[in-house]
Amino acid sequence: MEPLYSVPENNGIIRWDKRFSVGIPVIDEQHKNLVNLTNELFLSCIKDTDSANDNFKKIVHKLVLYTKNHFSIEERIMETLNFPDIATHKKEHEAFIKQILQGVEDFSRSSRFVPNKFVRYLRDWILAHIAMTDKRYADYIVECKKRRGSGPAAGRMQKHDGAVPVKSA
Ligand SMILES: [Fe+2]
């Protein structure tokens, strides 16, 4: 069986693959941006200079804002569609934000912080979350679309078919 996602071992950079698509263009776009930010972060942390450290802080800050906004959009979609596994999904989001903030704290205290390990954690989490957890609500949306016209989610689907409002991070 083909793996759910592929992680290039050569340089730690994530490459977007169409298999990551959840079928909602605006969410795919945001996932691509998360991947890009993680790649930027990786590049900034493989150099150990003052400017690389400053850059690292700036990118982490951008990543936190962007991720929070992205998660709230996903959660709104799930709420609107009464997605049954929303509580579990939200918990994963919360745990991820907590881990990033812990990383930022460790970084500013220079304690226990290993940049490469941190970025690899982000990379693995993002890819696994998109390929497995986000895929579940994407499949649910496909189900809702099939039942469109007969279920309570049918009307609510209209406004989420790729037309999710996006705030800039
Ligand atoms: Fe998610």
Question: Could you report the per-residue pLDDT of 110-153, keeping only the tens digit for each?
Answer: 766 777 788 888 988 998 999 899 999 999 988 888 887 655 55
pLDDT band at 106 (very low <50, low <70, confident <90, very high): confident
Tell me whether residue 8 is in a domain. Answer: no
Q: Binning pLDDT at 50, 70 and 90, where does residue 18 land?
A: confident
In this structure, is residue 1 part of a structural domain? no
Q: Does some domain include residue 6?
A: no
Domain range for 32 is: 23-158
The pTM of the whole model exceeds 0.85: no
CA 133–ligand 1 middle distance (angstroms): 6
Task: Give the residue-averaged pLDDT of 159-167.
Answer: 43
Helix 86-109 to helix 50-80 angle, to the nearest 10 degrees? 170
What is the 11 CA–ligand 1 centroid distance (Å)? 26
C-alpha 69 – ligand 1 centre gap (Å): 11
**CA–CA dist 80, 77 (Å, integer):** 5
Domain assignment present for residue 110? The answer is yes
Evaluated on CA atoms 88, 94, 99, 102, the torsion sign reads negative
3-class DSSP assignment, residue 51: helix
pLDDT, position 11: 58
**How many folded domains does the chain comprise?**
1
Inside any domain, residue 11: no
Residues with CB under 5 A from ligand 1 (ion): 74, 134
CB 116 within 8 A of CB 4: no
Supply the pLDDT for residue 40.
86
pLDDT band at 13 (very low <50, low <70, confident <90, very high): confident
C-alpha of residue 161 to centroid of ligand 1, in Å: 17
Give a yes or no: residue 165 inside a domain: no
> Does any domain span residue 120?
yes
Output the CA 104–ligand 1 centroid distance in Å.
21
Q: How far is the CA of 129 from the centre of ligand 1 (A)?
A: 6
- Determine the distance separating the centroid of ligand 1 and the alpha carbon of 157, expressed in angstroms: 18
> What CA–CA distance (Å, rounded) separates 1 from 63?
33
Position 136 in a domain: yes
Tens of pLDDT, residue by residue over 32-71, are 999 999 888 887 776 666 666 788 888 889 999 999 999 9
CATH value at residue 104: 1.20.120.50
Closest CA to 36 of 149, 169, 153: 169
